């Protein structure tokens, strides 16, 4: 009932671990999969080890809403290969998130991940507190990197979109034109939280990315708009911590979803969401979660009246 085919990836459920959350070791990713996730996405991995920013790097600013500036800290692709191989021993569908300082570096990391057994690649061109965001705000750069990578990669390529742009649809269209197999919508929103007592930014880096409940309606709106414009699958991401959030993304047009910040409640949230989504489908007479995809588009919104 919850099985989905995502650009050739056959997943037992439409819930995928989002990049950046518990995605740096085999043991943590296996817990997510065992809880019912259909696939896991690694933390963004670069060509070499990177420390990231100093603490405080993440803080809850409202209930269920966080701001973070981790700074793409990661062990580097060479060190991470052992984790990829260990995950694949257990036949867990694996999406490796990659980044680099040039198209060639993205390709280097991506090909090493593919050779180690990755089932798909997600390119991070949208982290709001790192230099990679400069790619995801430009449709031409987005098209060029996707086209460049698709010439070599043989596994699906997903593009994580940057919501901090004027027109995200044109970025998604550029990714589709370049040959992307799907888009992830969305990454975090650029944000800043200042402590009124110290009179300085709370995060050590200053600004960061907003995630969690506050961005969910934004993400749903973007998925809804993208569905009307592109033909490739959309993976909804942003603020999921209930079964209703998952259903909402599918009604907007998503083919799968990613959960990240919501895992602060524990990995059990995935099991609970799966049980409740399954019950929702049965109660409403649906045979598959694919049956509810894009249903919100069948209803026309009210037109703005003319004024005489």
Gap between the Cα atoms of 19 and 17, Å rounded: 7
CA angle, 276 then 280 then 286, to 5°: 135
Collapsed DSSP state (helix, strand, coil) of residue 222: helix
Gap between the Cα atoms of 211 and 214, Å rounded: 7
Gap between the Cα atoms of 271 and 35, Å rounded: 5
Q: What backbone torsions phi and psi does residue 50 show, to the nearest 5 degrees?
A: -145, 130
DSSP string over 190-210: EE--EETTTTEESBTTB-EEE
Q: What backbone torsions phi and psi does residue 38 show, to the nearest 5 degrees?
A: -80, -25
**Active-site residue flag, 127:** yes
Q: State the catalytic residue, choosing from 6, 11, 116, 127.
A: 127
Q: What backbone torsions phi and psi does residue 86 show, to the nearest 5 degrees?
A: -65, -40
Contact assessment for residue 98 and residue 126, using Cβ atoms and an 8 Å cutoff: no
Instruction: Quote the tokens at residue 252.
Output: 């907007």
Gap between the Cα atoms of 162 and 150, Å rounded: 20
Gap between the Cα atoms of 103 and 96, Å rounded: 16
Gap between the Cα atoms of 153 and 155, Å rounded: 6
Gap between the Cα atoms of 28 and 49, Å rounded: 20
Residues belonging to the active site:
127
């Amino acid at each position: 009932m919850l099985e989905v085919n995502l650009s050739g990836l056959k997943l037992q459920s439409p819930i995928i671990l989002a990049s950046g959350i518990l995605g740096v070791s085999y043991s943590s990713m296996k817990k997510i999969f065992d809880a019912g996730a259909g696939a896991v996405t690694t933390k963004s991995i670069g060509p070499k080890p990177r420390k990231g920013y100093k603490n405080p790097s993440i803080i809850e600013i409202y209930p269920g809403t966080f701001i973070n500036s981790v700074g793409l800290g990661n062990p580097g692709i060479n060190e991470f290969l052992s984790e990829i191989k260990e995950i694949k021993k257990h036949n867990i569908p694996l999406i490796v998130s990659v980044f680099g300082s040039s198209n060639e570096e993205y390709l280097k990391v991506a090909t090493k991940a593919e050779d180690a057994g990755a089932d798909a690649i997600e390119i991070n061109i949208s982290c709001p507190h790192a230099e990679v965001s400069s790619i995801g705000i430009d449709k031409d750069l987005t098209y060029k990197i996707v086209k460049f990578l698709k010439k070599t990669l043989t596994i699906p390529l997903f593009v994580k979109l940057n919501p901090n742009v004027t027109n995200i649809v044109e970025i998604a269209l550029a990714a589709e034109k370049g040959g992307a197999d799907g888009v992830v919508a969305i990454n975090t929103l650029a944000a800043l939280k200042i402590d009124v007592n110290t009179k300085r930014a709370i995060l050590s880096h200053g600004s960061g990315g907003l995630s969690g409940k506050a961005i969910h309606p934004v993400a749903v709106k973007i998925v809804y708009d993208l569905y009307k414009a592109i033909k490739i699958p959309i993976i909804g991401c942003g603020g999921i911590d209930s079964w209703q959030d998952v259903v909402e993304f599918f009604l907007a047009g998503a083919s799968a979803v990613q959960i990240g910040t919501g895992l602060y409640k524990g990995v059990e949230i995935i099991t609970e969401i799966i049980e409740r989504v399954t019950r929702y489908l049965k109660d409403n007479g649906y045979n598959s979660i694919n049956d509810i995809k894009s249903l919100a588009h069948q209803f026309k919104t009210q037109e703005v009246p003319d004024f005489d």
